Amino acid sequence: MDTGIINAAIEFVKQIFENDYSGHDYFHTLRVYKMATDIAVQENADLLVVQLAALLHDVDDRKLSPETYTHKNKAVTFLRAHNADEELIEEICNIISEISFRGSDSVVPETIEGKCVQDADRLDAIGAIGIARAFSYGGNHNRVIHDPDISPVLNMNGEEYYNHVSTTINHFYEKLFSIGDRMNTFTAKKIAKHREKYMREFISEFLDEWDGMR
């Protein structure tokens, strides 16, 4: 395998996500890569597997690239071009399939490497950055910020979650507040606790302002 594969992967995702404004920009991938690396060091996980899966985790995303989603064509083509062996490619594709949030159909990854990448991706959806990404996604998808007449729908399965159209505030109840409890590793659980608290304070402040109490 090419020794410069990590740097090549960083360049590859930069090209793909440079002009994305839907909450999946290049810096999201870069943060997931860095966070996954930090968690992997704590967990003694295989760094190469974690880093490649983190860098490639969104290139065949169901929403962004539906035509390559099933077979992870972009990730596989990149890895083959850099002489990764087929076993490693399969391992990385399995991790990418396991980590995505699918409501009650979400899965706990089988390997410690998958657990590290899933935790890193989920950590980037909560806290201050999570708030920013949620409103960026909402604006990008023409979603209203808040509508008190539209209630959140809890415990959706994968298909329901995928097809659900709601407000951005509801997204906090439907996904973001449930993420902290689903972290796999001790390292991520600790970080998630702080980020979740901050996010809950933000929503509470938001709703107080909405009601004219502040």
Q: Which residues of this protein are in contact with Ni ion, per CB under 5 A? A: 58, 121
Q: How far apart are CA 40 and CA 181, in angstroms?
A: 19
For ligand ADP, the closer of residues 81 and 145 by Cβ is 145
Q: CB-based contacts of 139: which residues, under 8 Å, 6+ apart?
A: none
**How far apart are alpha carbons 191 and 197 in whole angstroms?**
10
| Closer residue to Ni ion in complex, CB, 122/143 | 122
The DSSP output letter for 105 is T
Q: Does 168 participate in binding ligand ADP (rule CB under 6 A)?
A: yes
101 binds ligand ADP (CB under 6 A): yes
Q: Extract the tokens encoding 158.
A: 């994968």
Return the number of the residue (22 or 111) whose C-beta is nearest ligand ADP.
Answer: 22
CB of 22 to ligand ADP, least distance (A): 7
- What is the per-residue binding string for ligand ADP in 121-160, x denoting contact by CB under 6 A? x---x----x--xx--xx----x-----------------
Q: Is 24 in the site for ligand ADP (CB under 6 A)?
A: yes
- 102/113 Cα distance (integer angstroms): 19
Residues 25, 80: Cα–Cα separation, whole Å: 24
133 within 8 A of 121, measured Cβ to Cβ:
no
Q: Which residues pair with 102 in a beta bridge?
A: 104
Phi, psi of 102 (to 5 degrees): -135, 45
Q: How far is the CB of 188 from ligand ADP (least distance, A)?
A: 14
- Given ligand ADP, Ni ion, none, residue 168, with its beta carbon under 5 to 8 Å by kind, binds ligand ADP
Reported as half-sphere exposure (CB side, CA atoms, 13 A), residue 72 has a value of 19
Site string for ligand ADP, 61-80 (x = CB under 6 A): x-x-----------------
Residues that bind ligand ADP (CB under 6 A): 23-24, 58, 61, 63, 100-101, 121, 125, 130, 133-134, 137-138, 143, 168, 171, 175-176
